[in-house]
Chains A and B, each alone.
Chain A
Amino acid sequence: MKIKRKDILGIEDLAKDEIELILSTAESFKEVSEREIKKVPTLRGRTIINLFYEASTRTRTSFEIAAKRMSADAVNISVSSSSVVKGETLRDTAKNLEAMNPDCIVIRHFSSGAPHILSKLVKCPVINAGDGTHEHPSQALLDMLTVKEKFGRIEGLKVAIIGDILHSRVARSNIYGFTKLGAEVRVAGLPTMMPYGIENMGCRVFYNMEDAIKDADVIMMLRIQLERQNAGLFPTVREYSRLFGLDAKKLERAKKDVVILHPGPVNRGIEISSDVADGKYSLILDQVKNGVAVRMALFYLLLGGSRE
């Protein structure tokens, strides 16, 4: 089994056995991060460019650490300090980066589909680190790894994703991923937060949070994007928090061995209360830990073998 594709642009394109290969490879990489010398020489001499058009600490740092632990040279470009502020187009940026002969480009962009455009412009592998409201594949992979570690399987689990599904690339990637691996995915949020035709993605829709989490094995809380508060999705933050925020009281209705995920950054007291975010059901920091392993696995699988 091997990854036959050049790029990782979304979970939608990945077959079930490709996802499973990435997850099992990531499991092996976790041990590297626990060594005293957290570095293996696998990608020595390779150059990985992190091209970030949007703010990010977790994802960018995670990709950078993953590259460095594989001995690759990681170069970070954030838009605020690049030629993009001078008006350079994505196409020109891509061509210029390509001229420096990188071995992989990781891109986060505010426009859905930007990584796909980039992948057609450059010869090296492209990894989507989040594009607009489309997909965030590495996040979904680390979520699946975290759940698989906890339960030993994904098939048959009930996964409830709560929040602004419409604008969430994390939700979209996770719906594709968990459904492909045989979990039942539920989504819950205000009607204004539900994309048209979401049922066709194979998930059940709830407009009441209690029903969605009642017998769920996994509760995934999405970050409420406060910058969208003026978009008319919900009347007030307080009302949203009362209806769809996860607190100790709502958690009483959930299963006793439920686990809670959140992709970060957490708005404490809005979509999740502090006691729950830091509580015993929370796997938020395991997600971050697994993020490095998943990204190492992606680099290994994309750069480690040669594609004729």
Chain B
Amino acid sequence: MTKKNVLDEKGVERALIRIAHEIIEKNKGIEDIVMLGIPTRGVYLAKRIKEILKNAEGIELPIGSVDATLYRDDIGMKEKQPVLKETDIPVSIDNKKIIIVDDVLFTGRTIRAAMNVIMDFGRPANIQLAVMIDRGHRELPIRPDYIGKNVPTSMQEAVKVHLKEIDGVDEVIVEHE
């Protein structure tokens, strides 16, 4: 197995700072934004973006988590049941701008499921998508609004985002079998 480092600690930090500023620019401020991370690493990424936004704009955004497991389209097709994680949407999302945060965007199916979860909680003004890595191979018409880094991959490769909070180190690596 070969490993390739595509982002180091500094690279992860720079990418998050850029995403935060693109969020401010695109939304002309950050009022009415709610960030929802996809467990596990999307939630930590959302927390970090929130801190950067707080320093830049002086506003503390509400953040939460969306577990899309129960809305997946492959339930019953996989050999084992995916483990459920936490869904916690702490505020009303009606007429809010929702930013979904995830570590790696791949087929787009998780994001489709996450959007369905969100729609069951209310009617947001819009939904945007921020990802650390876009690795391609989309199977649905889904496109991220904010991208940390585009990493073209083959299907034999796995993209791993490691974060200090759980993995002890900030880095993005591509593994090839």
Contacts and interface: CB of A to CB of B under 8 A. Distances in A.
Interface of A: 2-3, 25, 28-29, 31-32, 35-37, 39-43, 70, 300-301, 303-306, 308
B57 interface: no
12 contacts: A2-B81, A28-B86, A35-B120, A35-B121, A37-B120, A40-B70, A40-B120, A41-B71, A43-B75, A305-B78, A305-B79, A306-B79
A301 B71 contact: no
A117 B85 CA distance: 36
B80 A31 contact: no
Contact of A306 (B70, B76, B85, B87): B76
Interface string B84-101: 111110000000000000
A36 B76 contact: no
Interface of B: 67, 70-71, 75-81, 83-88, 116, 120-121
A29 B81 CA distance: 14
Contacts of B88: 31
Main secondary structure of the interface of B (DSSP, over half): loop
A300 B81 contact: yes
Interface centre among B76, B79, B86, B121 (most CB of A within 10 A): B76
A32 B120 CA distance: 11
Nearest to A3: B81
B63 to A, nearest CB: 17
A304 B71 contact: no
B18 to A, nearest CB: 34
B55 to A, nearest CB: 32
Contact of B76 (A31, A35, A40, A304): A304
A308 B79 contact: yes
B116 A41 contact: yes
A295 to B, nearest CB: 15
A300 B77 CA distance: 13
Contacts of A29: 84
Contact of A40 (B71, B77, B81, B85): B71
Given A28-B85, A36-B121, A305 B70 contact: no
Nearest to A103: B76
Contacts of B67: 28
